[in-house]
Amino acid sequence: MTTSRKKTKISVYLDPEVMQMLADFAARRDRSQSMVAEAAIASFLSPDDGERREAVLARRLDQIDRRITRLERDVGISIESLAVFIRFWLATTPALPEPAAKAARAKAGERYEAFISALGRRLAQGPKLRQEVSEDVDGGAGS
């Protein structure tokens, strides 16, 4: 026969909102309110509670840091891609005479729509540029 420790009954006053939260939580977990309250109090009084919370916070901050690092990399790739394109376009595209410029402006809307469609397809299914660009590119390798 095992000996069980007898639990002590206490009375506490809870705000109606807290009481409702306790009842809802206990019902969702299919546990008694007493068991949930006891576990919450034990957790609150635990000496390592602060350490656990700090560890959870540190993990979340690490995740955010990794996401920000990826975001910075992606923005850097975008800016460099745009700069390379603009330099290339300015260096290789001669100015058009006025009659040809009017025709080019008329064709620009159609070409822009084709560009937007291609970009949409690429974003929806193709590999992303950031996946194609290696961070370990050696400036002199392969040239």
The phi-psi region of residue 30 (left if phi > 0; otherwise alpha if psi is between -120 and 50; otherwise beta) is left
Statement to judge: residues 53 and 37 lie in one domain: no
29 in a structural domain = yes
pTM: 0.46
- Looking at residue 3, what is its pLDDT? 61
Statement to judge: residues 37 and 53 lie in one domain: no
- Does the structure show a pLDDT above 70 at 137? no
- Looking at residue 65, what is its pLDDT? 97
Mapped onto helix, strand or coil, the DSSP state of residue 105 is helix
Statement to judge: residues 64 and 39 lie in one domain: no
- Does the structure show a pLDDT above 90 at 69? yes
3 in a structural domain = no
74 in a structural domain = yes
53 in a structural domain = yes
Name the domain count of the chain.
3
106 in a structural domain = yes
Average pLDDT over residues 87-113: 85
* pLDDT band per the 50, 70, 90 thresholds, residue 26: very high
Mean pLDDT is highest, among 51-55, 58-62, 71-75, for: 58-62
Higher pLDDT, 138 or 127: 127
Statement to judge: residues 37 and 52 lie in one domain: no
Residue 51 is part of which domain span? Answer: 47-80
Q: List, as own/partner pairs, every contact residues 57-63 make where C-beta atoms lie below 8 angstroms and the sequence separation is at least 24, other chains included.
A: none
Largest CA distance in the chain: 103
- Does the structure show a pLDDT above 90 at 63? yes
Residue 33 · residue 26 · CB < 8 Å: yes
Residue 78 is which amino acid? Answer: S
Statement to judge: residues 18 and 37 lie in one domain: yes
Give the Å distances, CA to CA, from 135 to 70, 74, 81: 11, 11, 14
